[in-house]
Amino acid sequence: MSHVGSQIGRSIPRLEAIAKVTGRAEYVHNMLLPGMLHGKILRSTVARGRIKRIDVEKAKAGNGVHAVITSQDILSLIPHPYHGPAFHDQPILALDEVRHYGEPVAVVLAADPHVALRALAAIEVEYEELPAVYDEVEAVTSPVAVHAELKPAATFADLKHLVGLKNTNVALEYRLRRGNVDRAFAAADHVFEHTFRTQQAMHAALEPHVTVAEPGDGSLTLHTCSQNPSFIRTEIARLLGWPENQVRVRTPFLGGGFGGKLYIKLEAIAAAAALLVHRPVKIALSMGEVFYTITKHATTVRIKSAVTKDGRITARECEAWWNGGAYADIGPRVTQKAGYTAAGPYDIENVRIDSYQIYTNRPPAGALRGFGVPQLAWAYESHTDFIAKDLGIDPLEFRWKNLLREGRPQATGATMRDAPMEKVLDRIAARLNWGAPLDRGDGRMRRGRGLAIGLKAGTSPTTSVAMVNVNASGSATLYVGTADMGQGSDTALGQIVAEALDLPMEDVKVIHTDTDMTPYDMGTCSARSTFHMGNAIRLAADDVRKKLKALEAELGLPQGSNYSVKDLLQKRFGMQAGNIIGVGSFIPPHIWPDPETGLSEEITPFWAIGGTGAEVEVDTQTGHVRVTRLINVADGGRVVNPEIAITQISGAAIMQLGFTMYENMIFKNGRVRNASLTHYEIPSYQDIPALENELLSAEDKRGPFGAKGLGESGTFGVSPAIGNAIFDAVGIRLTELPITAEAVLRALRSAQPLENRP
């Protein structure tokens, strides 16, 4: 148990590794409570309709059925049962209307989950089916109104002026206006315009959503697989009209989150059911149900650039339609925050961005690793290669010419600080051996390479509070609301405590995500934990040191006498007693964007930067694409735990590879035809190419010990790098994800013969 100096940059094994591999780590799915009932959800069988009748009597009479709950029951407990982080638009159970196929309509409770499941069939629901709208662009002009009125939440006050400007299907219309775009276009040597689309997809966390609600006396405990327990507490307390402290939200380990476990998912249904029947209630989704719970936005992105003869981009116009499905979830923030960087990683003087959060009758979309950036990067980095090719400029050279460099203002006006874009691009190019010739193949199999880079502004301003309790033996316990959803935050944050207090790791214990134990944290999302919670921990450690100094003074000891905590507390309390408790609250500097222009000089705590290089082999007879190399380079500042960080980059890239090549929710009349992992294909081991993942040696001066977040940075470049590599290999311009063999083959057939390509 010796102390080894700097704890930062050490790849120590995850604190929970043994518990996980031995099956002892706690997951909510394993939880059983005395008297617990299982809830199963009856879901809408139409995409849009009025509920004319619900008859639950037959189901209630079923053997072993404890109760059947509908929205009428919930109204007796919660008069305004609508929730949501941006809009209070989502009912706990559907009231008069259903807005998407699979929307929860009723819940059956039984001690045996199989009994509850079977009883669903006995509930009779009669719908008056209504016309629905599914496409994000069509919805803007559709006569179908998914919601009759818009109800932005109080926390959404900063964007209220952008709500429902066109009609109620356009929940939010984020605008950025920089320079004079029209004049620049008028003066342009070349104008390029392309429209890109991405598909609706889902998180596919191996742990489907699960919540156990345990009622107390005027109190409630939720054991739930949430990425933001503090939000769940506030929102459930708001729904119930209770003080916050009567709601306890516990999150043990998560089997993946990726943004799908943010905000209310099952928590409100389980809470209401448990309070109505005065019994613990567990609701665990099947994987199939997850497809109807939360997804990744399908998008349409139109992008148009003005370019000079010598390849300088002088203006860019970008219009993005985000298909948010039937309920807004956090989509409006995706629309806004991703909107900041929709013009891409280039230094462009004149920029116009319009980003629309759209309601449709699809399952809701929310946050998914990258928070919209991967969809935009697919557009802007494909667009980049299309322009370069048309101008006959090497795509890397074109990027070098236009790259947004350190110290320059980004489209929003915020300065690029500690944003090593050149380094990332340089490392990808070097690994691809960009200048050197590539064996491009001939005949049936053709090879190509491509690269892409992206940037992301983090969600801001958000708060993290950390508490460090140093006990009388000198060992420390860290309390953080950061959910460890598999990303290794417990370990990384533990290392930051150890570093900040100069302790060996063995003397640090991490307590995470139980609102009765851990202080406020906005949530585990937006790759924010290392940066925000890390900074909060540094402040908490400063507080500990300040208190130790005060204790020295109180004891009349000379300053800096270097007594250990143990000695000081022994002197103060006469025995091994007492604690030194330090608290740190962190919120980064932030300036709200100007309501008219969307500009602000301070929009992000740090810049997330990542890029990808790809080499592909295209079977021109089948359209099948094999990614042969995938090089992912990301900037994590001074990385706390390199091995864990590498697994994050790697995981992000593989996830985005799935969205690029395979994953696609296929709809028929609003119903997902492939709502299972049998038919919705995520990358298997065989699909994963030779991966190279690299962390830059960098530093973010605002981050804890120089660190920044990187959990999403591996996603940015994957889709366009692969698309650009295919373009390079066979000259086809793909604009839609996923890149299926059919799509490639179709494009190959309609393109000019390969032999004639330039």
Dump the DSSP string for 380-436. HHHHHHHHHHHHT--HHHHHHHHB--TTSBPTTS-B--S--HHHHHHHHHHHHTTTS
Is 577 near a copy of itself (CB under 8 A)? yes
Shortest gap between Cβ of 501 and a copy of itself (angstroms)?
Answer: 12
Is 463 near a copy of itself (CB under 8 A)? yes
Candidates 89-97, 356-364, 383-391, 566-574 — which segment interacts with a copy of itself by CB under 8 A? Answer: 566-574
Q: How far is CA 356 from CA 129, 172, 331, 573, 752, in A?
A: 27, 6, 10, 61, 36
- Contact by Cβ (8 Å): 548, 562: no
Interatomic CA distance for residues 579 and 337, integer angstroms: 41
Burial environment of residue 135 by CB neighbours within 10 A (0 to 12, 13 to 18, 19 or more): middle
Complex with a copy of itself: residue 213 or 467, whichever CB lies closer: 467
- Contact by Cβ (8 Å): 66, 111: yes
Q: Report the residue from 164, 409, 441, 461 that binds a copy of itself according to the rule CB under 8 A.
A: 461
Is 75 near a copy of itself (CB under 8 A)? no
Task: Classify the C-alpha dihedral 715-720-721-726 as positive or negative.
Answer: positive
- Contact by Cβ (8 Å): 450, 727: yes
Complex with a copy of itself: residue 540 or 634, whichever CB lies closer: 540
Is 564 near a copy of itself (CB under 8 A)? no
Q: How far is C-alpha 1 from the geometric centre of its chain's CA atoms?
A: 37
Is 29 near a copy of itself (CB under 8 A)? no
Site for a copy of itself in 477-516 (CB under 8 A): 477, 506-509, 511, 516
Is 468 near a copy of itself (CB under 8 A)? no
Q: Which long-range contacts (CB under 8 A, 24 or more apart) does 552-556 make?
A: none
Q: Report the residue from 131, 216, 589, 642 that binds a copy of itself according to the rule CB under 8 A.
A: 216
Interatomic CA distance for residues 28 and 209, integer angstroms: 9
Site for a copy of itself in 236-255 (CB under 8 A): 237, 243-246
- Contact by Cβ (8 Å): 374, 320: no
Interatomic CA distance for residues 174 and 357, integer angstroms: 8
Q: Locate the DSSP E strands across 521-624.
A: 579-586, 607-619
- Contact by Cβ (8 Å): 418, 702: yes
Shortest gap between Cβ of 567 and a copy of itself (angstroms)?
Answer: 13
Complex with a copy of itself: residue 155 or 674, whichever CB lies closer: 155
Candidates 59-67, 95-103, 217-225, 339-347 — which segment interacts with a copy of itself by CB under 8 A? Answer: 217-225
Complex with a copy of itself: residue 390 or 516, whichever CB lies closer: 516
Give 318's contacts (C-beta < 8 A, 6+ positions apart). Answer: 301, 302, 303, 304, 342, 343, 351, 352, 353, 354, 355, 376, 379, 380
Is 556 near a copy of itself (CB under 8 A)? no
Binding mask 627-656 for a copy of itself (x = CB under 8 A): ------------------------------
Q: Report the residue from 5, 79, 143, 218 that binds a copy of itself according to the rule CB under 8 A.
A: 218
Complex with a copy of itself: residue 180 or 219, whichever CB lies closer: 219
Q: Report the residue from 522, 649, 655, 725 that binds a copy of itself according to the rule CB under 8 A.
A: 522
Shortest gap between Cβ of 460 and a copy of itself (angstroms)?
Answer: 10
Can you name the residues that pair with 39 across neighbouring β-strands?
109, 283
Is 740 near a copy of itself (CB under 8 A)? no
H/E stretch holding 646 reads: helix 642-661
Q: Report the residue from 573, 594, 701, 746 that binds a copy of itself according to the rule CB under 8 A.
A: 573
Interatomic CA distance for residues 403 and 348, integer angstroms: 9
Complex with a copy of itself: residue 465 or 718, whichever CB lies closer: 465
Shortest gap between Cβ of 636 and a copy of itself (angstroms)?
Answer: 26
Q: At what angle do helices 534-554 and 565-573 cross, to 10 degrees?
A: 50
Interatomic CA distance for residues 747 and 729, integer angstroms: 13
Shortest gap between Cβ of 66 and a copy of itself (angstroms)?
Answer: 18
Q: Report the residue from 433, 576, 676, 697 that binds a copy of itself according to the rule CB under 8 A.
A: 576
Complex with a copy of itself: residue 346 or 479, whichever CB lies closer: 479
Complex with a copy of itself: residue 250 or 446, whichever CB lies closer: 250
Binding site for a copy of itself (CB under 8 A): 1, 18-19, 24, 155, 216-219, 230, 234, 237, 243-246, 461-463, 465, 467, 469, 471-477, 506-509, 511, 516-517, 519-520, 522, 572-579, 581, 583, 585, 587, 590
